[in-house]
Amino acid sequence: MPLSPPVISALTAGILIIMQMALLYAVVRARRRDRQSLGDGGKSELLRAIRRHGNFAENAAIFIAGFALLELMGADRIWLAALCAAFVLARIAHIAGLSMKNTVNVLRVGGTVVTVLVGVTLGVRLIVAAARFLAL
């Protein structure tokens, strides 16, 4: 069976990279506005911009690696696309929630919960897929 390219993961990676660049740009703009080169200088809006970017960066790379590995191992493309979409939507919700004045809100919490659910699902599926290959 020929190996097909991980197109679902590639599409998801493209979306996530563009999102990360937008978050990076928001940090740069906030730093320039506040004339703050390092740290947050006690500026809550700059801190939120830094955390939106940082939290996204902390999650996106490991998830896209997992998605790509699972796709290369033969995961069902519809199921994988749904999992990738859930992750992207969860990250959007988290970003929106962290942008609000009250940072404890349904969008941020929901984004975190869905991210964890996708992560656990992805991890379990990777372990099961690897175990199947090891049993051959």
Q: How far apart are CA 76 and CA 57, in angstroms?
A: 27
**pLDDT band with cut points at 50, 70 and 90 for residue 2:** low
For residue 108, what is the enclosing H or E element? helix 106-134
Q: How far apart are CA 117 and CA 98, in angstroms?
A: 19
Binning the chain into helix, strand and coil, the percentages to the nearest 5 are 80, 0, 20
pTM (2 decimals)? 0.92
The reported pLDDT for the residue numbered 39 is 86
Name the DSSP class of 93.
H
**pLDDT band with cut points at 50, 70 and 90 for residue 4:** confident
Domains of the chain: 7-134 (1.20.120.550)
